[in-house]
Amino acid sequence: MRKLLLYLSIILGIMLTSCSIEDVLEVKEAIKNETLTPETLLLIGEWQLESAVLGNGIDVTNECFMEEVIQFNIDGTYIDRRNQINEETGICEMLGEFVRGFNSEGDIFETSANELVIANYEVEADVLMINFSIPFEATVTYKRVK
């Protein structure tokens, strides 16, 4: 019953602030598919990288990495945009954009098909911590983009 009331509150809140019926239908579909839950609601939006520490404790954070912005979507996808310094030019460039999946249990998957867990996430207020295990061990911390 509490879950139902929470979901109805989410729908009502979005309906009051939303301009289109498509947005409301997207929320209803996300709740039905369980990609929007009380746990995942905290993730939805954009996050900017703050720090990146490898499993061996080496901090690899640099100005280029800190330009990375990731995005969690209502449909259960997570867009990971990777930046890297081009060794030849010294310019920070986007290395690639990866569409991954996530669930309410704290898992991040390699693809949006949710087949292989590559990381786990935790959200506390406006801080997101992702602990990667694949392709290498690393802890990456993000701040919510306002």
For the stretch 97-107, pLDDT in tens is 999 999 989 99
pLDDT the model gives residue 34: 72
**Is 38 inside any structural domain?**
no
* Domain co-membership, 17 together with 58: no
Coil vs helix vs strand at 12: helix
Q: Report the sign of the C-alpha dihedral through residues 81, 82, 83, 88, in that order.
A: negative
Burial label for 23, CB within 10 Å (0-12, 13-18, 19+), is: middle
Give the separation between CA 14 and CA 44, rounded to whole angstroms: 13
Tens of pLDDT, residue by residue over 30-72, are 677 777 787 888 899 999 999 999 999 999 999 998 999 999 9
**Is 39 inside any structural domain?**
no
Pick the closest to residue 43 from 85, 102, 3, 89 (CA basis).
Answer: 102
Give the separation between CA 94 and CA 84, rounded to whole angstroms: 6
Tens of pLDDT, residue by residue over 93-139, are 998 899 999 998 999 999 999 999 999 999 998 999 999 999 899 99
Model pTM score: 0.77
* Domain co-membership, 81 together with 117: yes
* Domain co-membership, 55 together with 28: no
The residue segments making up the domain with residue 140 are 45-144
* Domain co-membership, 53 together with 28: no
* Domain co-membership, 18 together with 83: no
